[in-house]
Amino acid sequence: MKDLKTPGRPWTSSPSARALGALVAVLLLGALFNAEGAFFKWGTHRDMLRAVSVFGILACGMTGVIISGGIDLSVGSILALASVTFSLLTIHWHWAAPWAVLACLGVGMACGLCSGALVAKAKMQPFIATLAMMVFARGLAKWVTGGEKISQAVKQSDGTFAYVDLPPLFKWIDSRILYDNISVVTLVFLTCLLLCWVLLNKLRAGRYIYAVGGNEEAARLSGVPVGLIRIVTYGVSGLCCAVAGMCQACQEYQGDPEAGAGYELSAIAMVVIGGTSLNGGKGSIWLTLIGVLTIGYLDKILSINAVGEDKRLMLTGIIVVAAVLLQKSRR
């Protein structure tokens, strides 16, 4: 009644504009609490991007799963499994890097395909199937390592430790390129993002992922191989976990079977804060990027201001709710 001119929707109603709004708000917060100018140094942003990359890679895979109407709780555990596998193969067994990388990707994908099959073929609830995978993969990671970190110190039969050299790949992934301006892990993250974008927006499989999430039955009756698509999304998520796990191992210079505990919740939060619907069918990988940056910056701002853990948790909770409310409010 008031607005007679434009029958079209206001720009604020587009999901990406809303997601960007949350990001801008967080950035403004950073500019306000800049910790004696530390926020305005490029190094801060570069470090934030490095720290958030592992989560971002997990969120890439998670985006596909959530758009297809599922959820993957196993990402943190598969990350740990991949991280110990990679360390074991390269540090202790001296495999050449390409084979180790391939083997790790294989392990991650196998885990993902396994949860996918449980969801698609055994018709288990995604929550249950991936919860089982989460517990199983964590157990497997602990079993493989005997509960200890896989590092340069190799236990000898007499109980003493001998030290082996770190493979060059570790140092390379943990380094920065482009005149020290960007971490390699960040580039790995951006590559994953780009590949997922191609999958979701350019490939037929991607359209099918949206269709399955939007209306599974209608998609099935339109000839979409629903089961296969579900398995593929979890497989891709598993692959992303493997990539993230290798990045994590390289950044810690060791494989930690306890790594990535609770990462699944961060990854889901990043996807959801971007505006991808947990009901499936809606969302995009770019929204996830915005979500990753929002959480990453939020974390960084709290960190450079040395905010205590207690307040940090409370503030994070409040800001996550605020961001999601901003997403939801219409008009």
The residues in 6-25 that bind other proteins, with binding defined as CB under 8 A, are 6-7
Q: Which stretch binds other proteins (CB under 8 A): 102-110, 245-253, 286-294, 318-326?
A: 245-253
Task: Rank residues 106 and 225 by Cβ distance to other proteins and give the closer one.
Answer: 225
d(CA 135, CA 262): 12
Applying CB under 8 A, among 12, 181, 191, 222 the residue interacting with other proteins is 222
Q: How far apart are CA 79 and CA 114, in angstroms?
A: 15
| Helix, strand or coil, per DSSP, at residue 164 | coil
Of residues 266-295, those binding other proteins (CB under 8 A)? 280-282
Q: Which of residues 181-210 bind other proteins (CB under 8 A)?
A: 183, 202-208, 210
Residues in 57-116 that interact with other proteins by CB under 8 A? none
Give the DSSP letter of residue 9. Answer: P
220 binds other proteins (CB under 8 A): yes
Stretch that binds other proteins, among 19-27, 104-112, 248-256, 319-327 (CB under 8 A): 248-256
What does the DSSP assignment read for 240-303? Answer: HHHHHHHHHHHHHTSB-TTTTTTHHHHHHHHHHHHT--TTSS---HHHHHHHHHHHHHHHHHHH
Minimum CB separation of residue 84 from other proteins in Å reads: 13
* Interatomic CA distance for residues 73 and 268, integer angstroms: 9
What number of CA atoms fall less than 13 Å from residue 43's CA on the CB side?
Answer: 4
- Each residue 165-184 as x (binds other proteins by CB under 8 A) or -, in order, gives ---------xxx------x-
Residue 182 belongs to what H/E stretch?
strand 182-183
Of the candidates 97, 132, 152, 324, which one interacts with other proteins according to CB under 8 A?
152
Binding residue (CB under 8 A) for other proteins from 4, 11, 98, 157: 4
* Cβ-based nearer residue to other proteins, 16 or 176: 176
Angle at 295 between CA 292 and CA 300, to 5 degrees: 115
Nearer to other proteins, 96 or 329 (CB): 329
Residue from 78, 211, 232, 295 in contact with other proteins (CB under 8 A): 211
Q: How many positions of this chain bind other proteins (CB under 8 A)?
A: 73
Q: Which of residues 296-325 bind other proteins (CB under 8 A)?
A: 299-300, 303-304, 306, 308-309, 312
- List Cβ neighbours of 103 (8 Å cut-off, separation of 6 or more): 85, 89, 95
- Report, in Å, the least distance between residue 172 CB and other proteins: 13
Q: How many CA atoms lie within 13 A of 127 on its CB side?
A: 2
Report the nearest approach of other proteins to the CB of residue 171 (Å).
Answer: 10
Quote the CA–CA distance of 146 and 118 in Å, as a whole number.
Answer: 28
